[in-house]
Amino acid sequence: MACGLCRLDRPLRDSHLLPAAAYKLAREPHRRNPNPIVVTRGHAGSSSRQISDEFLCAECEDRFSKHGERYVMAQCARPDDFALRNVLKPLPPLVEDEPFKVFDVAGSRGSRVADYLYFAASVFWRAAARSWTLGSETVRRIRLGPYEEQLRRFLLGELPFPDGIRLFVHVWSEEHAGFTSIVPCSARAPDGTHRHKFTIPGILFIILVGKTVAREIDAGALNSNAGSFMWLCPWTRDSLFDGFGGLVMDRLRAQRHRSRQQSSSPPRRDFFR
């Protein structure tokens, strides 16, 4: 079968939507159920399954690993360290408006801009290039329009990063923000700009997509014309955090309500034990 990235007819590997390392970091061994909560359109619950399928060949998997994934995952939040945040904290902020700080990280040790740009592009492209499933549930596919093909060719080294996309990197400022990972999701701003987000432990990636972003939404982006910027800001103040938490609580309440209604039936395993 053809590889989704290079489109050559090669044996396919079991490819992940988010890196397998992000899932491992989300596990909490001290809990009764250590598996992370996975959220799709119709499901939220603790699961040992990962969102993966046969999609990429071994060479393209290795390409993703070498050009961004291996490095970025080593810099994200871990139980005993958060390398990227340690890089930002000593730097003088260009902008400081509590609780947010913005840094120009071009040339800073530990913040290799090209790796973050490539890693983010690889995840957003994967979320757009095919439909992913978790069991019987479908993960909502993001829409990138003509930028999907431009990102594919960027990942192959055939084109530069699309000028119609601006990437923002928000590093969590909380000392104990957990190890949440959330697959790419989408929203549309009032001005028509499309916004897509995903998170790995400690780092939120946001892209704004549209014909005018290079001119109107350039400031503060990692690939800005004025520099390479990263933000240090609270994860708990982001709308993705609020939406994720609200969806989880809604699913929990619905599950518990169904359990009470079925209390006269034979006992069933509690998915949210």
In this prediction, residue 235 has a pLDDT band, given cuts at 50, 70 and 90, of: confident
User: Does any domain span residue 88?
Assistant: yes
Q: How far is C-alpha 174 from the geometric centre of its chain's CA atoms? A: 18
pLDDT at 240 over 80: no
Q: Distance (Å, rounded) from C-alpha 246 to C-alpha 103?
A: 31
**pLDDT of amino acid 55:** 97
Kindly tell me if the per-residue pLDDT of 43 is higher than 60. Answer: no
Q: Which pLDDT belongs to residue 90? A: 92
- pLDDT value for 270: 27
Residue 223: which of 106, 144, 93 has the closest Cα?
106
Q: What is the mean pLDDT of residues 230-258?
A: 62
Encoded tokens for 85: 């945040």
122 or 141: which carries more pLDDT confidence? 122
Let me know if 64 is exposed, middle or buried by CB neighbors in 10 A (0-12, 13-18, 19+).
buried
Tell whether the model's pLDDT for residue 47 goes beyond 70. no
Q: Domain count of the chain?
A: 1
Does residue 140 belong to any structural domain of this protein? yes
Please count the helices (runs of H) and the strands (runs of E) in the chain. 8, 15
The total of other beta-carbon atoms located within 10 Å of residue 111's CB is 23
Q: How far apart are CA 65 and CA 194, in angstroms?
A: 27
Task: State percent of the chain over pLDDT 70.
Answer: 76
Domain of residue 41, residue span: 17-53+60-258
Residue 168 domain-assigned? yes
The rounded distance, in Å, linking the Cα atoms of 64 and 95 is 33
Query: For the chain, percent helix, then strand, then coil, each to nearest 5?
Result: 30, 25, 40
Q: What is the pLDDT of residue 111?
A: 75
Q: How far apart are CA 26 and CA 42, in angstroms?
A: 21
Identify the residue with better confidence: 262 or 107: 107
Q: What is the DSSP letter of 253?
A: H
Q: Is residue 110 part of a domain?
A: yes
- 65 has pLDDT over 70: yes
Q: pLDDT of 76-134, one tens digit each?
A: 998 888 999 999 999 999 988 888 899 999 877 767 999 999 999 999 999 999 999 87
| H-only helix segments in 65-210 | 70-75, 83-88, 113-129, 147-155
Residue 21 lies in a domain: yes
pTM: predicted TM-score of the whole model, two decimal places: 0.83
CA nearest to 14, candidates 51, 48, 53, 49: 53
- 173 vs 157: CA distance, rounded Å: 33
The one-letter amino acid code at 101 reads: K
pLDDT band at 51 (very low <50, low <70, confident <90, very high): confident
Helices 147-155 and 113-129: crossing angle in degrees, nearest 10, is: 130
- pLDDT at res. 237: 78
Q: What's the chain's average pLDDT?
A: 81
Q: What is d(CA 123, CA 156) in angstroms, rounded to the nearest whole number?
A: 14
* Residues 78, 219, 189, 18, CA torsion sign: negative
pLDDT reported for residue 107: 78
- pLDDT at residue 38, as a whole number: 52
Residue 246 within any structural domain of the chain: yes
- Residue 153's nearest CA partner among 223, 53, 66, 60 is 60
pLDDT at position 123 is 97
For 152-204, the pLDDT digits (tens) are 999 999 999 999 999 999 999 988 766 778 888 887 776 667 899 998 999 99
